[in-house]
């Protein structure tokens, strides 16, 4: 792969990773997930992030050129509500070798043990193996040795 092709691939990876990062942060509005592709509509932080770690920073105009190429190749598609804003297509994710993060659906299929940190849970010291761990009110068995946990041992 020549130098400019690998620079392009990096930008494509960046766009897919940015999309995934926002989805994982809970963003679901297409307008917020999408990017502007012209110098005028481009988010300055995007230009900054694309240039992170580059010894010779890309000019916004050349990023615009690259993004225009992505549109032609079917890596970017406009969102329905604003034809000047684009999100990466499945083809872009495939090319970048990145799996598209799922939105709300993925959050719903979380494992039951994957409880949010802020849910009420208490630290209990197991009187058999003496390991302290965090437990939800409905849990009553030591995660490490299986012994019964007693309310008494809540720290
Ligand atoms: Zn135990």
> How is the chain split into domains, by residue range?
3-108, 111-155
Residues with CB under 5 A from ligand 1 (ion): 126, 128-129, 142, 144-145, 147
Residue 14 has pLDDT above 60, yes or no: yes
Quote the CA–CA distance of 63 and 51 in Å, as a whole number.
10
Task: Provide the pLDDT for residue 111.
Answer: 44
Query: What is the mean predicted confidence (pLDDT) over 37-45?
Result: 94
Q: Contact, 78 vs 85, CB < 8 A?
A: yes
pTM for this model (two decimals): 0.65
Query: Which pLDDT band, with edges at 50, 70 and 90, does 53 fall under?
Result: confident
What DSSP line would sit under 12-80, residue for residue? HHHHHHHHHHHHHTT---HHHH-EE-STTTS-HHHHHHHHTT-SSPPPHHHHHHHHHHHHHTTSEEEET
Ligand 1 mean position, distance from CA 129 (Å): 4
CATH of 3-108, one of 1.10.510.10, 1.10.10.10, 3.30.390.30, 2.40.30.10: 1.10.10.10
Task: Provide the pLDDT for residue 121.
Answer: 77
Ligand 1 mean position, distance from CA 122 (Å): 15
Ligand 1 mean position, distance from CA 110 (Å): 26
Ligand 1 mean position, distance from CA 123 (Å): 13
Task: Provide the pLDDT for residue 116.
Answer: 53
Question: Rounded to a whole number, what is the largest CA-CA distance in the chain?
Answer: 67
Quote the CA–CA distance of 38 and 45 in Å, as a whole number.
14
Query: What is the mean predicted confidence (pLDDT) over 86-101?
Result: 96
Q: Which of 40, 102, 17, 35 is nearest to 71 (CA)?
A: 35
Ligand 1 mean position, distance from CA 80 (Å): 55
Q: Which of 34, 9, 5, 7 is nearest to 96 (CA)?
A: 9
Ligand 1 mean position, distance from CA 147 (Å): 5
Residue 2 has pLDDT above 70, yes or no: no
Ligand 1 mean position, distance from CA 134 (Å): 12
């Amino acid at each position: 792969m020549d130098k400019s092709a690998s620079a392009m691939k990096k930008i494509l990876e960046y766009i897919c990773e940015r999309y995934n990062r926002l989805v994982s942060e809970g963003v679901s509005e297409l307008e917020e997930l999408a990017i502007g592709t012209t110098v005028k509509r481009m988010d300055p932080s995007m230009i900054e992030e694309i240039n992170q770690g580059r010894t010779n920073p890309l000019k916004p105009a050349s990023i615009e050129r690259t993004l225009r190429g992505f549109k032609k190749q079917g890596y970017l598609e406009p969102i329905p509500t604003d034809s000047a804003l684009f999100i990466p297509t499945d083809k872009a994710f495939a090319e970048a070798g990145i799996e598209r993060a799922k939105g709300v659906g993925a959050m719903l299929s979380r494992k039951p043990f994957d409880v949010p940190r802020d849910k009420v849970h208490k630290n209990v010291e197991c009187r058999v193996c003496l390991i302290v761990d965090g437990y939800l009110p409905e849990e009553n068995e030591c995660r490490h040795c299986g012994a019964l946990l007693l309310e008494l041992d809540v720290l």
